[in-house]
Structure formats: structure tokens, C-alpha cells
Amino acid sequence: MKPSTLTQLLVAVICKAVTTARNETDTFVSEQAESFVSTQLLIRDVPVLPTRTIARYFRLRLTWKNGYKWQGSRSEKWWCMRCKNSSCSKNSGIEITKCSRNDSRQQFYFDNNRIRSRKSGRCLERRGRSIKLDTCDGSRNQRWDGLSTRQPFQLREAGSSVKCASQHHEPKRGEVVYMTSCKKSRASKTDLWNVY
């Protein structure tokens, strides 16, 4: 056999082995991912995050779309969620304000279907209609459905599609975010949030 033919044969064998190993690995990873999704996630019309921490910090912004009209204006608005007190301490409420990269009270992250303040590490907790920050304890009132880092989502209480976090009317600075009817907030175009 000529050296070039032998080299070509060896390259072909190595390529086939690598492709086979890659396919087997991809199949295993894909099967594990499907198993995880089927056992860990509540499959809904809006995807939810896996049960793990997303290390990236972000702001939660009310979704704006062309054609919206808030407070008499059709120009794009940038309203973000933030904790009301300066330290984001226990029992701090949540409000709407203009989005700002420099406001640490607007920075949050997802953790086990919870929303945590970067500033204090506390979790958003539903208390009836109110939403407050509290020590993370894994309770149902701290779990949220619908969380997504890729597309707009409704911030819904776990296991329900009836109640959403919003203020169900045209937003303005300092308004409190609370639990309200998803239907009402959808009508006022304030039912969707996005990671920003």
C-alpha cells in the first residue's frame, strides 16, 4: 500500500471513530436532557427554566411591543422591577422604575424556579396579593412558573395560570408590583416580562 493511501485510510478510520463516539455522546446527553425535562419541568405553553441556578445577573423588564400605548405615549418604555428599599432587605416590596444599569436594586437571578435579589440574596415571595423579599426557604410561595431567559414570559405563581406579577394598568415610576389576574394584566399589556 502506498503511504498516501495508508494515511488516507487511517484518517478515514479515525474520523469514523470520532463521529461514532460523538454521536453516542450526543445521544446519551440528549436522552439525559429529555429525561431531566420530563421529570423536572412543568411543560406549559411558556417554557420554564431547569431546576438550577443561572449565574448571570439581569434586570426584569416589562415587555414593550410596537403598538403599545402607556401613559398616553406610543414611544418605547423601559420599566424594570426593583426592590423598594435601598438594601433589598427582608420585607422590601417590589416596584417599577426606569431601567438603569447602575441600579443594583434592579439586579436579579433565577435559582431553582425562584427569583433572587443580587443585592441581598433574598427571594421574591408571594404573600396574598403582595410580593416581598424574604429569606429563601424553598416554600411554594417563592416558586414561579414561566421563567425564561430567552423570550418574554408571564411571571406566574407556581402551578397556576390565573395569577401573574404585574400592576395591571399602564406602568409609571414607583408603582408596586403585586399579584393580579393574568387576564387583567394582559388586557393592559403588562403581563409579560423579559430578562434584560
- Tens of pLDDT, residues 21-64: 444 434 333 343 333 333 333 333 333 334 445 458 999 999 99
- Tens of pLDDT, residues 143-173: 999 899 999 999 998 888 899 999 877 888 9
Residue 23's identity, in one-letter code, is: N
Report the predicted TM-score, pTM, of the whole model to 2 decimal places: 0.70
Residue 180: closest CA among 160, 159, 150: 160
Q: What H or E segment, with its residue span, contains residue 80? A: strand 79-83
Question: How many residues does this entry show for the chain?
Answer: 196
Which residues are CB-contacts of 158 (< 8 A; sequence separation ≥ 6)?
113, 140, 143, 144, 145
